[in-house]
Structure 1
Amino acid sequence: MHMEIGEILDNIYPLSDLSKEKLISHISEVVLPKRHLLIKNDRIEHKLYFVKKGIVRAYTTKDDTEITFWFGKEGDTVVSMNSYINQQFGYENIELLEDCTLYALSSSRLQELFTQDIEVANWGRKFAELELIKTESQFINRQLRSAKERYEELLSTKPDLINRVQVGHIASYLGITPVSLSRIRAQLK
């Protein structure tokens, strides 16, 4: 499966053909290998990415343990919001879990387009709103739902991830051990 850039952009916010072409003209396609660290928490990231093909994960490290808190797949946006908004180091590392084809867009070029095209500016506002909702949802789910409920949600919203992502990463995302994840899976069968 893969997603074309026009479809990804429209899923964020529909643009006229002219504005979409203007935005697409500044987007390049990059192919990177599995395990590549796309975004590092110790640097400012000057690009945002859209996943054409592949799976990525966002994680942070605490006490030498990686804690996965998000998975992205075809059609998803990959961005360090702290870098994008504040031009500061991000909080996350983004690792490619498969060989990936990504669309890359310079944050500074996007900011220039915001001043030149109101449709692109509205697209950017919608993009930021969707990223905020995604973050809020992750936070609430981690605070209010059990690991089993979060696993069931993962099964219903991104079922293909289960076969494409290592069990250890899924367990980390759920905040449990792989053994506990095996028990949850057995209960659901």
Structure 2
Amino acid sequence: MNIIQILNKIYPLPDSSAAALKEHIQSVSFPKNHLLMHADKVESKIYFIKKGIVRAYADQADNEITFWFGKEGETVISMKSYVENRPGYETIETLEACELYELNAEKLKELFLQDIHIANWGRKFAEKELVKTEERLISRQFKTATERYIELMNENPDLLRRIQLGHIASYLGITQVSLSRIRAEIK
């Protein structure tokens, strides 16, 4: 996906606003297993995924808990850093070699003050991120691991082919052995 397609997927922008935003976005590439964002650090960049997959996780004791996957067309952001300028709780890692678009969060906030269309785009972006977070929370609280796996299988079947099972099990909140059992039952 090109950057204009990604931006317009969030909220359609007039050509002039899209061009103004695009002026501050650059293409970057990172290898597999690169850490894009670090927990306990204020992150100043926002990324849009052109190609590749990333995961967000939190360290707990001797374990990493994966709570989000991002793929082509999605945004990578530490919301706590973006909204409150405080250190985030997530580490975000590339699971494949990634081609991304990079935007400085402070530059985006400056553009909000200059262009109402970009400000509305930012509001819509934040609203959509809130809804996605709410859906993940509700899924985790009210659905069984089997239901969550089936949902992942139906909504993002490509992730199951591209992400190692250990990360998928962590995302589902189960062990890899339990994931293998669920996969066997479904087949």
The secondary structure found in structure 2 opposite 1:160 is helix
Which blocks of at least 5 consecutive residues in structure 1 are unaligned? none
Equivalent in the alignment of 1:85:
83
Q: Give the Å deviation of 1:26.
A: 0.5
Kindly state the Cα deviation for residue 157 of structure 1 after the two structures are TM-superposed. Answer: 1.2
Cα-Cα RMSD? 0.6
Q: TM-score, normalised by structure 2?
A: 0.99
Q: Which residue of 1 aligns with 2:67?
A: 69
Per the TM alignment, residue 9 of structure 1 is displaced from its structure 2 partner at its CA by 0.4
One-letter amino acid matched to 2:87 = F
Match of 1:108 among 89, 103, 106: 106
SS at match of 2:157: coil
Q: How much has 1:59 moved relative to structure 2?
A: 0.3
Q: TM-score if structure 1 supplies the norm length? A: 0.98
Runs of 4+ aligned structure 1 residues displaced above 2 Å come to none
Q: 1:148 corresponds to which residue? A: 146
Given candidates 46, 49, 58, the residue that maps to 1:48 is 46
Determine the C-alpha separation between the residues in 2 that align with 1:103 and 1:156. 28
- Residue deviations 1:37-91, cap 9 Å, x none? 1000121000111100000000001111000000000001000000001110001
Q: Does 1:123 align with 2:115?
A: no
Q: Which residue of 2 aligns with 1:134?
A: 132
Q: Which ranges of structure 2 fall in alignment gaps of 5 or more residues?
A: none
